[in-house]
Chains A and B, each alone.
Chain A
Amino acid sequence: MILTIGDSFTYGAELANREHDAWPYVLARKLNLNVDNLACPGGSNDRMFRITVDRVVQKNYKLVIIGWTEPSRLDLMFNGEELQITSASYHYHARFPWIKQYYAEHYDLRHATQTWLAQVLALQDFLKQREQKYVFVSMNGQWEEYYYKNLDLEHMANAVDREHYLGWPQEGFTHWQDNAPIGSSGHPLELGHQRIADKIYEHIRNQFWVS
């Protein structure tokens, strides 16, 4: 069994048959394994961090893959409902008026990125110590533009284990899908997911995790 977690790119948003065509399912077939895909649309890094720790202490997976997203998203729960909030979650703005003010006045990119990098660094050590094979990937590699040059976070970014973070720091899903067709909301369609699965599979094979 492999565990995948991420946002809409890992969930398979905009696919006609996501449980067949999204990259976690394509990859699982290539590996001849089952997949527990816990991604959700709008999924935050906070949620990925929380759920990965929760699951991995309960079960050892053949492989854990986290598709990290952009760092602005919030992980909330209210009345038993898990809420993943982004600055563009306009459908939540009416229900939760504080969100608009939060993003307008009390959100900072460096602060959010530092929080995310702390999660990446802690989680890679957590997985390593539990001898849990894992791969980290990004929805969209943005390192040179945002992090390295502008945010003074290179000391944290340099501590990322590049052997386990595929494409770090420049590449991510949006690069690997290349010029494949995308849906109206910008998500990869079947061909894009195949390319993403191929890229991750190639990495896993290069690590000698599969023959």
Chain B
Amino acid sequence: MILTIGDSFTYGEELPDRTSQAWPYLLAKKLDTTVTNLGKCGGSADRCFRVIINNLSRNKYKLVIVAWPFPHRIEAWDNISNSPVCTNQNSVNSNLPWVDDWYKFSYNKDHAFERWSCQILALQSFLKQIKQDYLFLNVAGLQGDYDLYEKKLGHIWSNIDKTKYLGWPELGMIEFQGDCPIGPGGHPLELGHQRIAETIYDFNNR
């Protein structure tokens, strides 16, 4: 069994039949195994970090894939659903009326990138220590953000194990899907997910 985690791109948002068409399920089929897909719409990097370590403290998988979301998202607790909820500054979430103010008065992009970079490095150490095979990738290549933060975070990024990080830093799922059709919400459709699954499969088998 493989374990996948990420945001709506990993969940399979906008697909008619996500449990057969999203890349985690396509990849599992190619690897002749099953998948536990913990992708969640709006999922944050904080959630990926927390959930993966929690899960791997109990279980072991053939392969773990973390498809890191954009680092600006936050994760809080939703008392109504009694579960964690992730959000960002573009979300209109009536359950979390404080979020607008949070982004307006308390959000800092540099800080979010630094936090995420530390999570990447520490999670790689954790996975290596427990001898869990894994690979990381991003939803989208860092593009301009790489140049923007290279000076500030380069000392952390230079310690990332790139042999386990597909596409770092310039490529991610958005680039892997290429010019495939996307849904109204901007998510890849069937062909895009096939290309993402193939890219991950090739990287894993290289």
A interface residues with partner B (beta carbon < 8 Å): 46, 49-50, 53-54, 57-58, 75-78, 83, 95-98, 101-102, 105-108, 111, 114-115, 117-119, 121-123, 125-126, 128-129, 155-156, 158-159
Contact = CB atoms under 8 A, between A and B. Distances in A.
B162 interface: no
B122 A126 contact: yes
A156 B155 CA distance: 30
Contacts of B106: 76, 78, 83, 96, 98
Contacts of A128: 125, 129
Contacts, number: 112
Interface residues of B, number: 42
A57 B102 CA distance: 30
Closest 4 CB pairs of A and B: A98-B98, A108-B77, A122-B122, A125-B129
B57 A159 contact: yes
Nearest to B98: A98
Interface string B151-169: 0000110110000000000
Given A128-B129, A129-B125, A121 B98 contact: no
A97 B99 CA distance: 11
A57 B117 CA distance: 12
11 contacts: A53-B156, A54-B114, A54-B156, A57-B155, A95-B105, A96-B106, A106-B78, A106-B98, A119-B122, A126-B125, A128-B125
B108 interface: yes
B58 interface: yes
Interface in B63-105: 76-79, 84, 96-99, 101-102, 105
Nearest to B128: A129
Interface stretch (B27-35, B46-54, B170-178): B46-54
Nearest to B130: A125
A83 B46 CA distance: 19
Given A53-B156, A106-B78, A125 B114 contact: no
B126 A125 contact: yes
A121 B101 contact: no
